Amino acid sequence: MKINYPNPSIKQKPTKNIFNSHGMYFENALNISNEYYRNLNKAIIYKKPTPIQIVKVDYPQRSKARIVEAYYQTPSTTDYNGIYRGKYIDYEAKETNNLSFNFKHISEHQMKHLHKIDEQGGIAFIIIFFKKINKVFIIDIKPFLKIFKDGIKSIKVSEFEEIGQEVKLGYSPPIDYLTAVDKLYFKTTLDN
Amino acid sequence: MKINYPNPSIKQKPTKNIFNSHGMYFENALNISNEYYRNLNKAIIYKKPTPIQIVKVDYPQRSKARIVEAYYQTPSTTDYNGIYRGKYIDYEAKETNNLSFNFKHISEHQMKHLHKIDEQGGIAFIIIFFKKINKVFIIDIKPFLKIFKDGIKSIKVSEFEEIGQEVKLGYSPPIDYLTAVDKLYFKTTLDN
């Protein structure tokens, strides 16, 4: 996969976010960041494939199997998981055009899954991209679930500033979320 | 998913393996075992979806997106991963009709991936089902890779008996591989 990285020396209009203005969407930027971390042997984290329900497959002669009827399925877990600093890490990535994150954008299945990971001693969080202000935050599943259980419908950006950890956006990696993970879970950063 | 479990009180011919004789294939039996472990909160381990390259999608009115052209992709990692006893766990499942496991049945990509997981401090192994003798073994990636690097083309069942760990097959869970993981990686078993 060849990607034209944004040139950091080029000044951008603040209203445009760095991913969209270069056709780099959040998921793509996360995947590139994970590839960057893997190449450094800093962490082994992958996006899981989208589950597909396959209904009909054709086997044309001399060529590979061709799926001709299939449907997207709802994932039972989260988008990303892997290993970092010897720990199991698991997170769900979300993006929003609003200045708050509404719980209707995450399934109860996914929250339960992250809660179970936390109980097992893993690192479990949500990473949220606020497109309007071009900011990314990670929030641990515990405070996230606490707010949800309080019956509150959404979390404002200002609350993320307090209970979450802001993620530095840049050039390489585009989303340096593991530095935020260091601060939130390890209290120290690793030198690379 | 409703499964008709084999009735353990029914004696079976030793030449038939417990999975195939009941239409329960190895992958299915592993999935049921993982579901069993998840229900007990013993481990959170899932099979990753098969990666599919989607070429064409139809959006019929009033119904959900229908994929009309897609192809199976080669997975870049392994089949299963998750968390067990606070540790990241990652493995590839294989089955064979032979009395040895030939390295041609596993991709170098997958071996490299498991090697990297091992380097990061995770639990990384291959689980192999020998259909003919109805035996399942797990083998850590280190001895597995050592044999591969020695230029040997396959590993015999007798070698698995020595360097691997046999997995107890039964009723619930059908493949109790975490007990074998306990012996191989923790030297102690957990009471459940």
Question: Could you give the CA distance from residue B126 to residue A147 in angstroms, rounded to a whole number?
Answer: 41
Bigger pLDDT: A159 vs B60: A159
Contacts of B144 (CB under 8 A, 6+ apart): B111, B114, B125, B126, B155
With a cut of 90, say whether residue A61 has pLDDT above it.
no
Q: pLDDT by residue (tens digit) across A27-57?
A: 999 999 999 999 999 999 999 999 999 999 9
Question: Could you give the CA distance from residue A109 to residue A150 in angstroms, rounded to a whole number?
Answer: 18
Q: Do A48 and B43 touch (CB under 8 A)?
A: no
With a cut of 90, say whether residue B157 has pLDDT above it.
yes
Q: How many contacts, defined by CB atoms under 8 Å, are there between A and B?
A: 106
Do B46 and B35 meet the contact criterion of CB atoms below 8 Å apart?
A: no
Given this model, what pLDDT does residue B15 score?
A: 42
Q: Do A69 and B68 touch (CB under 8 A)?
A: yes
When pLDDT is cut at 50, 70 and 90, the band that residue A8 belongs to is very low
Q: Do A120 and B69 touch (CB under 8 A)?
A: no
Which among A52, A87, A113 is the nearest to B49, CB-wise? A52
Given this model, what pLDDT does residue A40 score?
A: 97
Chain B residues near residue A70 by CB distance under 8 angstroms: 52, 66-67, 70
Q: Do A70 and B72 touch (CB under 8 A)?
A: no
Say whether residue B55 is in contact with chain A using an 8 A CB cutoff: no
Q: Do B70 and A71 touch (CB under 8 A)?
A: no
**B interface mutation test: which of A37, A55, A67, A89 has the most B CBs within 10 A?**
A67
Percent of chain B predicted with pLDDT > 70: 85
Please provide the average confidence, as pLDDT, over all residues in chain A.
88
Task: State how beta strands A154-156 and A100-102 pair.
Answer: antiparallel
Domain boundaries, chain A: 20-186
Say whether residue A86 is in contact with chain B using an 8 A CB cutoff: yes
Given this model, what pLDDT does residue B69 score?
A: 95
Could you tell me the fold of the domain covering A20-186? Trna Endonuclease; Chain: A, domain 1 (3.40.1350)
Given this model, what pLDDT does residue A55 score?
A: 95
CATH among 3.40.640.10, 3.40.50.720, 3.40.1350.10, 3.40.50.2300 for B20-49+76-186: 3.40.1350.10
The enclosing H or E element of B109 equals: helix B108-119
pTM: 0.85
Given this model, what pLDDT does residue B190 score?
A: 59
When pLDDT is cut at 50, 70 and 90, the band that residue A60 belongs to is confident
Given this model, what pLDDT does residue A9 score?
A: 42
First to last CA, chain B: 25
Given this model, what pLDDT does residue B60 score?
A: 83
Given this model, what pLDDT does residue B11 score?
A: 41
**CA of B75: which chain A residue's CA is closest?**
A49
Q: Distance, in angstroms, between B122 CA and closest chain A CA?
A: 6
Q: pLDDT by residue (tens digit) across B91-118?
A: 999 999 999 999 999 999 999 999 999 9
Tokens of B178: 């975490």
Bigger pLDDT: A78 vs B19: A78
Sign of CA dihedral B157, B162, B164, B166: positive
